[in-house]
Structure 1
Amino acid sequence: MFRTANRFGALLLCFMLAGGLLAACGSNQQLSEETSEQPGSSSTASETPASGETSPLPAGERTITDELGHEITVPAEPKRVFAPYLEDSLLKLGVKPVVQWSNGPLGHEYLKEELKGVPKLDFSGGLPSPEVVMSYNPDLIILHTAAYAADGAYENYAKIAPTYVFKNASGDVEKSLETLGELLGKSAEADQALQAYQQKVKEAKEKLDQAVGGKKVAIIRFAAKGVSLMGGNYLCGYVVHKQLGIGSSKLVENENSANVSMEVLPELDADYIFIINAYGQGTQRMKEMTESSVWKSIPAVKQGHVYEVSDEYWLGSGLTAYEKIIDDTVKLLVG
């Protein structure tokens, strides 16, 4: 076609095409700049993907890799979150789950007012079936430990909704809260909660250093399956020993926990003892041990430095539980 046109006409047409292309380029550049500012978009969002390429995500959706290496697409604003045993952290972010974890009829009793109206789901017999989870119609599933994802559970749950798995969310509650904030679009709320908590830890530590600096605390958990001394790597042990800086017994200096029996009681080197009756199931064991002559011979017991604390939050995992543990510790040791 262009070969038959005269030279002048061809030249004129070229100038016209060049002008149009420049205008179009300017328009496309502006569109690209605007699109690139939207979450989840890319500079090629206005182009049609070639065969085999992945289409851009809808605005606000994000692709995130969980702690087990699963890549998931998180909704822009999750509305129905299934996250058993993470209720404490969810509430700190202003999020109510569609269902709450429970051990038999017992849930997180210290959160019962905040979780009023949220149905309980019993985990005492193991993980709920995919059909049960599906009945809550979640748009995001969050599993607090890798054990919850084992034996094909992850694959089944991932068919229901995007499923994020922590290796162990209870291992570092503060880091887990940050991650949840990112997942749920609540990073500002997570930052605010963490700053308030860290200030509380600082103030409590200063009081405790003055009152009981150099002293040791033993945290003994009485449960249906046995008696254990809690170490400083998780839950209340982490709060008391690592964050508040109170010394622990040599029996658990480098351990998560240690079994406690009548034989090892004389080795319990602690100035104060906190005892926990786990879910009310350790009553008999607690009675047997604390009424024994061996128990009564322990220096901390003779000095009246034994305190029973609430299993509701001393075995809890989340900043609200940790704040209550701090309050108890200061009240009992400082007054």
Structure 2
Amino acid sequence: MKRSVRRILSLVLLGTLVFLLISACTQHGSQTSTESESKQVATDCRVVKHARGEACIPLNPKRIVTLDFNSFAAALALDVEPIATWITTEIEDDFDYFNTQSREVEILRSPTGQPNLEKLVALSPDLIVTISHSAFEAVYQYLPSIAPTVILPWEEITGDWEQQTEELARILEKSDVLTQKMYDYHQRISELKQQLTQEQEIKTSFMFVATGQLVLARENSFAGAILKELDILNPLFEGSGDLDLTISEEVLPEVDSDVIFLASLQQGDRAVIDELRKDPLWSQLKAAEKDQVYIVDFSVWRGLNFFAAQRVLDDVSKYLLNTSET
């Protein structure tokens, strides 16, 4: 009887030992598998720094979604085509000058100024790109849980489109593409500048009407900087840190530019321009006397991106040299 009890106890102990050994081996195998998967994930992405921290982005992202027009433009300038982008703007314009740049991108509009997170999830992005802007503060915290997210500088660089594009080029390892494009761009400016200097000295300015107010673009604005680089910006608008200067109709005669490029923010502002051009003060402008006031596209001349910059040069060439660019 005692021998039977001992035998039973021995079998129980042996079974327990076998169970423990099997469990230990299973746990070790599971742990090894988890470690292997972690190492695999780590090799499938690379850590990059951005305006709000770091992110481990795919080595070759295929489903990039941009949450704003500026990031969208920067991506296209690098020959990277997102699958979708939000246009968070109140400008009544479809950005026609982008029609030839992308064909397969899904354009989503957001009247609230923020992307729809449910729609973003449904797009299944593998990389999200947006800018550092107060309008996106409410959604930043949710983005990394949807896909790796990089935030490009914007407000902290006062909308410097070249620097923003350089940052995206660094992140996507496209700096060589950008270097070549910017070289060609500045070469074009140099050639256009040389052509303009063969003419008589020209002083130009860019003005626009926004919500009924007349605004002068200064040297540090997008268009002002381009006109300055071409050496045709009216010196009156140089040397100020301000991007724009709101003026009244009474000071119009002080704007003695030979050429004025004029735009309207919204369709309602175009009517303001029509009334403005009927004002007797308008006829005192040198540009008006010479019939050298040219209506241009606001979304281009305030574009803050590579393609808009090229279109500004197109307009300058068209109106000042009577040549058309394709």
Q: Same fold (TM over 0.5)?
A: yes
After superposition, residues 154-165 of structure 1 pair within 5 angstroms as 154-165=140-151
Q: State the partner residue of 2:75.
A: 90
Distance 1:276 1:101 in 2: 24
Contact 2:207/2:217 (8 A) holds in 1: yes
Residue 264 of structure 1 pairs with residue 251 of structure 2: yes
Letter in 2 for 1:78: P
2:53 aligned to which of 70, 76, 90: 70
Q: State the partner residue of 1:209.
A: 197
Q: State the partner residue of 2:63.
A: 80
Call closer, same or farther: CA 1:226–1:99 in 2, change over 3 Å: farther
Deviations 1:132-154 (A, max 9, x none): 3222222222223423432x321
The TM-score, its normalising length taken from structure 2, stands at 0.76
Structure 2 residues not aligned, in runs of 5+: 1-31
Distance 1:201 1:56 in 2: 47
Identity of aligned residues (%): 26
Q: Secondary structure at the match of 1:175?
A: helix
Deviations 1:165-198 (A, max 9, x none): 2332773323322222222232222222122112
Call closer, same or farther: CA 1:149–1:126 in 2, change over 3 Å: closer
Deviations 1:68-103 (A, max 9, x none): x41222221121222221333322222212223434
Size of the aligned set, in residue pairs, is: 280
Residue 180 of structure 1 pairs with residue 168 of structure 2: yes
Contact 1:100/1:107 (8 A) holds in 2: no
Contact 2:217/2:237 (8 A) holds in 1: no
Contact 2:86/2:115 (8 A) holds in 1: no
Call closer, same or farther: CA 1:293–1:325 in 2, change over 3 Å: same
Structure 1 residue 56 displacement after superposition: 8.9
Structure 1 residues not aligned, in runs of 5+: 1-47
Contact 1:100/1:118 (8 A) holds in 2: yes
> Which has the larger helix fraction?
2
Call closer, same or farther: CA 1:226–1:205 in 2, change over 3 Å: same
**Range that drifts further, 306-315 or 295-304:** 306-315
Deviations 1:228-285 (A, max 9, x none): 11122232222222x2222235256412001132122122232210001224342111
Q: Secondary structure at the match of 1:229?
A: strand
